[in-house]
Structure formats: C-alpha cells, structure tokens
Amino acid sequence: MASPIKQVQVTFDCAEPRRVARFWCEALGYVPPPSPEGFDSWDDYEQTLPEEQRGAWAVAQDPTGAGPRLYFQRVPESKVAKNRVHLDVRVVTGLVGEERLAVLASESARLEALGAKRVRLMLADEENESCLVMQDVEGNEFCLD
C-alpha cells in the first residue's frame, strides 16, 4: 500500500526564528509564505499577537513547491550537541575531483557571507565524494554536498 504522505516539513529549534529563516531563504532561494489575509505584512500580523508570541516562529518555503517547507520555532534552551538530523545542500551533484572542490569553496564563501561557518572539509574516499560540513547562523550543522 502506498503511503499517504506526500510532503515533509523540516523543523528547526532556535533562539531567533526570523534570523535563521532569513539565512535559509538566502541560502536556498526560498521565500517566506504570503502574509495572512487582511494583513500587508507578517510584521502587521504579529502586532496583533500577545508579546510572548511575537517572533516565536518563522517559515521558509520553496517558491516552486518542490522542496520541503522549513519551520523555525523559538525554544528557550540553546543548542548543546551535534544535530541528529541535518540538511544536505546539494550543490555539486555529479561533479568530482577539483571541479567539485572549487564549487564547494565558492558556495561556502557565499554562505559564510550570509553568516554560516565552515566546519571541516571531508575529502573523497573509496565510498564518498568530497563534502563540506558547515553551520548555519545558530550553529545547526549542514553539509554542502
């Protein structure tokens, strides 16, 4: 029997949902969803919420609808350990060797300018091609692959 699940959403716990959502929108070419009906912007909508709910969450979505929706929720605790789940940002699919490394370097520079941090380059071995481990603006690990 086929699964009824057709889409997934990836949820990030974070301290500043809007900041992290802005990073991922820039990194992936995603966009925020349209503001709620009757409001010119999300800022206008949030002004109608109680103070403690303002800025409590944010969303980034693929404008084509092909990629997963990313949801960012404010939590009180800070990140203390490595992620158990991470995103692989596929920028060098099909490339190998020096060409792959050059694209990884270029893309990591673009993401670092947005606030990401380069953690380590994992060079190709017998089983895997090279990839680059990075962190977003709040330290969530992801791989450029």
Write down the pLDDT at residue 2: 75
Q: In this predicted model, what pLDDT tens digit does every residue of 94-115 receive, in sequence order?
A: 899 999 999 999 999 999 999 9
Structural domain that includes position 99: 87-144
Residue 13 sits in the same domain as residue 69: yes
Residue 51 sits in the same domain as residue 14: yes
Q: In this predicted model, what pLDDT tens digit does every residue of 32-77 receive, in sequence order?
A: 999 999 999 999 999 999 999 999 999 999 999 999 999 999 999 8
The angle formed by the CA atoms of residues 113, 117 and 118, to the nearest 5 degrees, is 110
**Contact status, residue 49 vs residue 36, Cβ threshold 8 Å:** no
**How many CB atoms neighbour CB 25 within 10 A?**
19
3 pLDDT band, cuts 50/70/90, is confident
Residue 108 sits in the same domain as residue 60: no
Query: Which percentage of the chain shows pLDDT scores above 70?
Result: 100
The number of distinct structural domains making up the chain is 2
| 80 falls within a domain | no
Give the separation between CA 110 and CA 16, rounded to whole angstroms: 21
Write down the pLDDT at residue 113: 97
Which domain-ending residue is among 74, 98, 126? 74
Give the separation between CA 33 and CA 66, rounded to whole angstroms: 14
